[in-house]
């Protein structure tokens, strides 16, 4: 029976880096298929895994959420029947809700035998607070549903910042093991063990609670099938996963009452009677270009510096690309808020740039790169 590992995490958290480490250090003898779901028009990852003989199924048409559950389900079924792998690693898009992905996998598990092995969330140790504040609806969902949380970049972060991040994550997940040791000090096997030990919790979660098909929350809906938020029953004392920012008290019979005369506090302008969660594409947008243009390294450095710090292009959350340089070599770049990396790469069929963010200003981006 194929084991399913879901490796979620916000844009640029380090999911692909973690998967590479696991494949190299812990899963060598196994037949593994990776299902990647990138948000953005142009898929940039994938190549290196294909080169390593790993089967990669990419889904770039949108994120695995309500609207794509069917497509995702058929892709997953096809992978099982076609390859009969030991393990399927699912890398949802950085803006996917983990509960949506779990729900989709559960749906497939009704038809095909699957072992729901681990639900993991990778989180950038430096940016938990910022992401929770700005994109809590998506970010907190990934934290809440994780069996284990693997912090990235812990080697570059001050201890008090790391402690603060762990405390914030704990507010949203009481039980998950949280890896705080830098990855290069751990073996892939050590990490895999923590991921799989979270397994018992995953089983518990699946047995005891059903994932709400409307909001994706894991509350007890036995007596509350009406999703009008009149009496929305949460059985945990965390913030509401809809991102409304309301705290739930410790009373397990707490009745969640939104004042529906008001607009959603997130500013989306939706009346929550009819729509009480957001799709990723309502909040995040992507801009992508394919180009034969040759860049020089200094020029690219200036561009990325602006993109990582300046807010004149919208709120930039992630950018990556592969471009040819003036001397004929190829470079790849990776950018998350406040930091970026440029490295040598191998030739590709053409140059590609992808930017993901919120309220992107496409004309300004065009002007920056071209």
Ligand X SMILES: Nc1nc2c(ncn2[C@@H]2O[C@H](COP(=O)(O)OP(=O)(O)OP(=O)(O)O)[C@@H](O)[C@H]2O)c(=O)[nH]1
The span of 106-114, 151-159, 257-265, 358-366 binding ligand X (CB under 6 A) equals: 151-159
Alpha carbons 149 and 151: distance in angstroms, whole number: 6
To which H or E segment does residue 117 belong?
Answer: strand 114-124
Taking CB under 6 A as the rule, which mask of x and - marks residues 69-108 in contact with ligand X? -------------------------x--------------
Is 14 a binding residue for ligand X by CB under 6 A? The answer is yes
| Long-range interactions of 318-321: CB distance < 8 A, separation 24+ | 318/11, 318/12, 318/94, 318/355, 318/356, 318/357, 319/353, 319/354, 319/355, 319/356, 320/44, 320/354, 321/44, 321/351, 321/352, 321/353, 321/354
Short-list 176, 241, 239, CA closest to 212:
241
C-beta of 45 vs 209, nearer to ligand X: 45
Q: Restricting to residues 153-182, which ones interact with ligand X according to CB under 6 A?
A: 153, 156
According to CB under 6 A, which one of 72, 145, 183, 369 is a site residue for ligand X? 183
Its sign, for the CA torsion 226, 231, 234, 238, is: positive
Is 13 a binding residue for ligand X by CB under 6 A? The answer is yes
According to CB under 6 A, which one of 230, 311, 341, 362 is a site residue for ligand X? 341
- The terminus-to-terminus CA distance of the chain in angstroms comes to 50
Is 9 a binding residue for ligand X by CB under 6 A? The answer is yes
C-beta of 261 vs 344, nearer to ligand X: 344
According to CB under 6 A, which one of 2, 3, 15, 176 is a site residue for ligand X? 15
Its sign, for the CA torsion 192, 194, 198, 200, is: positive
Is 152 a binding residue for ligand X by CB under 6 A? The answer is yes
Is 46 a binding residue for ligand X by CB under 6 A? The answer is no
According to CB under 6 A, which one of 16, 57, 99, 148 is a site residue for ligand X? 16
CB of 166 to ligand X, least distance (A): 15
C-beta of 152 vs 205, nearer to ligand X: 152
Q: Restricting to residues 104-143, which ones interact with ligand X according to CB under 6 A?
A: none
C-beta of 143 vs 240, nearer to ligand X: 143
Short-list 142, 11, 68, 96, CA closest to 280:
96
C-beta of 156 vs 290, nearer to ligand X: 156
> Which residues, 6+ apart, have CB-to-CB distance to 334 below 8 Å?
12, 319, 320, 340, 341
C-beta of 186 vs 368, nearer to ligand X: 186
> Which residues, 6+ apart, have CB-to-CB distance to 336 below 8 Å?
11, 12, 124, 127, 308, 317, 318
C-beta of 114 vs 151, nearer to ligand X: 151
According to CB under 6 A, which one of 17, 285, 291, 325 is a site residue for ligand X? 17
Q: Are 326 and 357 in contact (CB under 8 A)?
A: no
CA 175 to chain CA centroid, Å, is 20
Q: Restricting to residues 215-254, which ones interact with ligand X according to CB under 6 A?
A: none
Residues making contact with ligand X (CB under 6 A): 9, 11-17, 45, 94, 152-153, 156, 183, 318, 334, 341
């Amino acid at each position: 029976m194929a084991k399913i590992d879901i490796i979620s995490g916000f844009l640029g958290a380090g999911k692909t880096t973690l998967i590479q480490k696991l494949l190299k250090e812990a899963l060598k003898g196994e037949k593994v298929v990776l299902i990647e779901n990138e948000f953005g028009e142009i898929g940039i990852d994938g190549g290196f895994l294909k080169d390593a003989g790993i089967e990669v199924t990419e889904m770039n048409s949108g994120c695995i959420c309500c609207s794509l559950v069917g497509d995702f389900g058929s892709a997953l079924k096809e992978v099982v029947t076609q390859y009969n792998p030991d393990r399927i690693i699912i890398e949802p898009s950085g803006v996917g809700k983990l509960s949506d992905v779990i729900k989709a996998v559960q749906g497939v598990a009704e038809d095909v035998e699957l072992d729901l092995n681990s639900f993991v969330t990778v989180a950038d140790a430096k940016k938990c607070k910022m992401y929770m504040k700005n994109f809590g609806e998506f970010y907190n969902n990934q934290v809440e549903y994780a069996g284990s949380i693997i912090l990235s970049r812990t080697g570059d972060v001050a201890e008090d910042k790391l402690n603060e991040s762990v405390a914030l994550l704990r507010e949203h997940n009481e039980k998950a093991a949280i890896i705080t040791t830098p990855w290069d000090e751990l073996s892939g096997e050590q990490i895999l063990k923590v991921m799989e030990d979270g397994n018992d919790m995953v089983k518990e979660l699946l047995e005891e609670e059903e994932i709400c098909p409307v909001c994706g929350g894991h509350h007890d809906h036995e007596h509350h099938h009406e999703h009008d938020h009149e009496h929305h029953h949460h059985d945990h004392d965390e913030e509401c996963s809809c991102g409304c920012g309301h705290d739930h008290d410790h009373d397990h019979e707490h009745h969640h009452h939104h004042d529906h005369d008001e607009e959603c506090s997130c500013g989306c302008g939706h009346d929550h009677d009819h729509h009480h969660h957001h799709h990723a594409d309502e909040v995040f947008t992507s801009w992508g270009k394919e180009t034969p243009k040759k860049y020089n390294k200094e020029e690219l450095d200036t561009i990325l510096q602006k993109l990582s710090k300046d807010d004149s292009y919208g709120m930039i959350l992630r950018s990556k690309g592969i471009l040819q340089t003036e001397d004929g070599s190829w470079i790849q770049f990776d950018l998350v808020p406040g930091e970026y990396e440029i490295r040598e790469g191998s030739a590709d069929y053409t140059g590609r740039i992808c930017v993901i963010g919120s309220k992107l200003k496409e004309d300004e981006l065009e002007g920056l790169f071209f």
